Amino acid sequence: MRLLKRFVQRLLIFGLGIFCIWLIVFVVFETVDRRLPWILAVGATYGIAAYIVLPRAIRIGLKILQSKRVPSYTITGDGLPGDPVNVVLVGTLQQLREAFAALGWSEADRLSLASSWGMVRAFALNAPYATAPFSTLYLFGRGQDIGLQKAIDNSPRKRHHIRFWALSQKRARATWGTADFWLNTERPPDNESVLWIGAGTKDTGLSLTRLSYQITHATDSNTNAERDYIIGELRKNRSIETVKVYKAGENLLSERVNHYITDGEIALAVLAANCD
């Protein structure tokens, strides 16, 4: 029965792929090619395929596969596993902001049309943009609560960055080990000492996402090194207390947006009281 189910799933995924190719080549491209010069038709087809057709096809494919494993990765807007969770800090929002500000990190602007254009312009001209926006990743059913970053060589193309999601310590203790732990859409109050669940990676340039081929930052695949760098900087500045290491939840066995090397370990530390 399991083999039959797997065969049907793969058959449906294969059919979905064939349908997407047909739709992109013989419907989208042929339609725009009749109305626009060839080079513009190719660009328009890419935009429609990468940002409309393929993301929706991916979501349908994931529903067909019905993966139910607890993720140790954040989730993209397309429903794919994104950056791995690798840092947890305990404290208030003010403590979190002050700890990273002391290291020269900046809070990312909220993603909008204006900030997105500013990022495109800064990336193209290699002009500084210390508060460049982040794309939205999801954990606990919501986008990141705060993003923090530090440019490398003052360039918007390379940066250390981390997204954080706040989780009530009380709720974490009450729901740990259950599905409800991952379905926490309510953000705790800013003045509450909470768990700041973080996914830290290092941007290294420009790339395309897997499967949907959207334009994004290229990232260093070694997220263990980035986790150790972030914790090391906080420890050097005495912004955190004792660090403990835990194993993340079971890996979600699926294609990720980027290829990462991770040992599945999460570094947990309490923000120092003098950051309050």
pLDDT per residue over 108-138, tens digit each? 998 888 888 888 788 778 888 899 888 888 8
pLDDT digits (tens, 9 = 90+) for 176-205: 666 566 666 778 888 899 989 999 999 876
CA dist 250 and 45 (Å) reads 38
Range 28-51 average pLDDT: 85
Question: Mean pLDDT throughout 20-33?
Answer: 87
pLDDT at residue number 69 = 38
Task: List pLDDT tens digits, range 8-23.
Answer: 777 887 888 888 889 8
* Whether 136 contacts 144, CB under 8 Å: yes
Strands (DSSP E) contained in 69-186 are 73-75, 81-84, 87-91, 106-107, 138-139, 142-143, 146-152, 155-167
**Residue 237 confidence (pLDDT):** 92
pTM over 0.85: no
Q: What is the mean pLDDT of residues 150-158?
A: 88
Segment 98-117 mean pLDDT: 91
